[in-house]
Amino acid sequence: METRVTHGSAGIQAAGALLRAGEVVAFPTETVYGLGADATRGDAIRKIYATKGRPSHNPLIVHVTGIDQAQAVNGLLPKNARRVAEALWPGPLTLVIPRGGHICPEVAAGGPTVALRAPAHPVAQQLLAAANVPVAAPSANISGHTSPTTAQHVWDELHGKIPLILDGGPCAVGLESTVAEVGEDRIRILRPGAVTLEHILDILGNFKGSINPAQMPAASGQPLASPGLLDRHYAPDSSTFLFDPAQWDAVRAYLREQGPGFTATLISYSADIRLPAPHRTFMLPNDDAGYARGLYDALRTLDAMRPNAIFVLLPVNERGLWPAATDRLRRAGRYFHRKEMP
Ligand code: TXA
Ligand code: MG
């Protein structure tokens, strides 16, 4: 299949027409690029799963223009979810609510709930308006890989497999949306993102909140509340090792032992932590928004160099987008333990 890359209003109209015809198209959102299809059509949704190689038990996020479309396609929003949506949509927040109305079961992997989000990216909004259907869209990558934050990333991963990539420039946030379940008196963050638990608690007041209780090991045999929490996810092909600043000496000692012929790459945000040649260092900004925006491009860029290993200096800050970045890194790689290194 030939893949077209388009932009602008002609591109948006072409993508909207393909969506209405039951095809899949890649499009920009403020978080990451999505691979969209009509959420009311099982045949279209099955193309998403097939294109990504996504396990059929992992449900998809449905994108809508806002609360009105959400209610038109899925029924009234529960009261508390509606309060949160009124304050934070459009934006990088996905709400898990009971499924109803016109959303097809394949989107929800057959489950009783559906994940809804109104993206803030103007191109995504215009595409949703042009398509005039709710659009289910996971990140536009092969299942388990790093999410794309540019049209080029989508091309590298999916060209030849989809008819169209709508280019809306690099994603401003760079990490996937927060996934939250809002109940009667409690909130569960199933996937951390740019919208934090504190943001939601500010709106709802006296609620109980918890983050990521599904951080239990997958081996426990319990079903995951959100399969995006599966242990290997967001991952480059190269072996990826995460380390704390305190382990820097141990990392350097390990690299010295490997001798010539072993090339490592490093993602750092600290001027004091960088590797000497022939190794390569990708320096990200030491602020949460800049780090999040650049992280997936850094992982892809270093992965393309086919190094023997990618090392990542773990963020230590707990504010803003840092926990979301750490969460994705934890699934993209494993912790550096000198004794366990290959
Ligand atoms: O930022 C984003 O959310 C991007 C853009 C394209 O909007 N989309 C995205 O989709 O990251 P995906 O499929 O890569 O991740 C969706 C996450 C997964 O962790 C999935 O398990 C969870 O949302 N999810 C979807 N439906 C759910 C449901 N009904 N209950 C719980 N978790 C759900
Ligand atoms: Mg994904």
Does 231 have pLDDT greater than 60? no
Asked if residue 68 belongs to a domain, the reply is: yes
Of 190, 211, 232, which residue is a domain's last?
211
**Could you give the CA distance from residue 328 to residue 236 in angstroms, rounded to a whole number?**
12
Closest of 69, 51, 191, 78 to residue 119, by C-alpha: 69
Region 207-236: mean pLDDT is 55
252 and 162 in a single domain? The answer is: no
* Pocket flag, ligand 1, residue 58 (CB < 6 Å): yes
CA distance 33 to 149: 6
- Of 20-29, 31-40, 106-115, 290-299, least confident by mean pLDDT is 106-115
In ligand 1, the atom with minimum distance to the C-alpha of 176 is 1
Question: Do residue 180 and residue 288 come from a single domain?
Answer: no
Within-domain flag for 8: yes
Is residue 242 classed as helix, strand or coil in its secondary structure?
strand
Domain count, the chain: 2
The residue whose CA has the least distance to atom 17 of ligand 1 is 228
- Residue with CA nearest ligand 1 atom 7: 34
The predicted structure's pLDDT at residue 272? 96
Mean pLDDT of 39-52: 98
270-276, long-range: CB < 8 A, 24+ apart: 270/245, 270/313, 273/245, 273/248, 273/313, 275/311
* pLDDT of 230: 47
Q: Which domain holds residue 120?
A: 4-211
pLDDT digits (tens, 9 = 90+) for 152-173: 999 999 999 999 999 999 999 9
Q: How much is the average pLDDT of 13-38?
A: 98
The whole-number pLDDT of residue 222 equals: 38
pTM of the prediction?
0.94
Which residue would you say has higher pLDDT here, 213 or 309? 309
197 and 246 share a domain?
A: no
Q: Are residues 179 and 38 in the same domain?
A: yes
Question: What residues does 35 pair with on adjacent strands?
Answer: 26
Say yes or no: CB of residue 323 within 6 Å of ligand 1: no
Ligand 1 and 227: CB distance under 6 A: yes
